[in-house]
Amino acid sequence: MDRYIAFILVVLLSPADAQASYFNTDRPQKIMGSFLTEVEHIDEVAEFSNAFGFAPKSVDEITHYLDANVHKMLPVISIGKLLFDPGTGMYRNDPYGIIDAIEMSAVRHREILFLLDEPLWTIRKACNEGKTKACRDIENRYADTLATLRSVGRLLRQQFPGSGVMHIEAWAELVLQKQAYPDELVIMLDDAEYLGFDCYGDFYSCGSPELGYNSHIDYGTGVWNTMQALESANPIGRKLFLVPGGFLADKLFDDVETLMDQLYLNAYLLNQSKEIGGLGVFLWGDMVEDGRFFTGARNIRSIVDLITLIAQFFGVGKKTSF
């Protein structure tokens, strides 16, 4: 009897995020989609997408988006805002509302990617606003944040086997990390299946006057090096994920030509390596953020045409003639 009890304990105490439970990054197609701002836009992108991203304002919106996904595209759910506590400036290990919202969906999803969008930059901004816990965590190289997000990912994978986590970090965070620790790898969530960064602007000169300008290659190389080190230590099939801009906005993308150039160059990179797993265009619909108006791709005909052609090249979506 003792040996059976011991066996049960081993099973119960074994790590739940063993390799078999990770998201399958070895896929017949690259992941391709756009970031949406309205549920109604799911139908608009289905012809040239096998995925779509969204940032729910509440857990109820998760259910609405999933119910609308009759095309069975891969949902990429940005969950950071639902986990962040602005009072402490830190993340909570509380994905249970997210889990309940997914369970309530009438459309069953076998695979989901949970997006952590700029989580370390969010902590740094909280520190700049005077949140002492956030400042302490930065001094500790984000130990508490990484532990919390690691635990969140574990709980989500347990509930939805085969689902995974994507960590997209802000370019500015990468720069500040390298300034503070020039000889160290940049910090990324160590059990995320997809890693990437975002910087919206000219492909070869993206950044700000305060922190300088670098090419997307420079930022991507930092993430790539971390990804390779993590994969060497614990192989789970990690992939780099690209996030080009697909919008026009003052002081980010002021002209369509610059926008098209960086989108094309990201698509070129996507075709260069099996270790680059997908491309997510930000963003599809219009929006206003921090007083700045963003004209989304759906209202820029040349960008829609280019996204469609890129999807066709990678065998995603339906063929369209122009």
Q: Per-residue pLDDT tens for 235-281? A: 999 999 999 999 999 988 989 999 999 999 999 999 999 999 999 99
Tell me the whole-structure pTM to 2 decimals. Answer: 0.92
Alpha helices in 181-300 (DSSP H): 216-233, 256-270
Contact 300, 53 (CB under 8 A): no
- β-strands 194-198, 164-170: how paired? parallel
- The two three-digit tokens of residue 231, written as one number: 């994969």
Local structure of 116: helix, strand or coil: strand
- Positive or negative, the CA dihedral 167, 134, 175, 249 is positive
Contact 294, 287 (CB under 8 A): yes
DSSP-derived secondary structure letter, 37: S
> Above 50 in pLDDT, residue 320?
no
Contacts 24+ apart (CB under 8 A), 299-305: 300/246, 300/247, 300/248, 300/256, 300/259, 302/256, 302/260, 303/246, 303/256, 303/259, 303/260, 303/263
Angle between helices 256-270 and 216-233 (to 10 degrees): 30
Q: What is d(CA 198, CA 119) in angstroms, rounded to the nearest whole number? A: 12
Average pLDDT over residues 17-37: 86
Q: What is d(CA 82, CA 7) in angstroms, rounded to the nearest whole number? A: 37
What is the pLDDT at residue 322? Answer: 31
Identity at 246, one-letter amino acid code:
G
What is the pLDDT at residue 318? Answer: 63
Q: Is the peptide bond before 259 cis (omega within 30 degrees of 0)?
A: no
Q: What is d(CA 59, CA 185) in angstroms, rounded to the nearest whole number? A: 35
Average pLDDT over residues 197-223: 97
Contact 116, 166 (CB under 8 A): yes
What is the pLDDT at residue 58? Answer: 97
What is the pLDDT at residue 110? Answer: 77
Placement of tokens 């009890």 in the chain: 5
User: What are φ and ψ of residue 37, in 5° steps?
Assistant: -115, -10
Question: Band of the pLDDT at 8, cuts 50, 70, 90?
Answer: very low
Local structure of 168: helix, strand or coil: strand
Q: What is d(CA 30, CA 274) in angstroms, rounded to the nearest whole number? A: 9
What is the pLDDT at residue 251? Answer: 84
- The two three-digit tokens of residue 313, written as one number: 């090249």
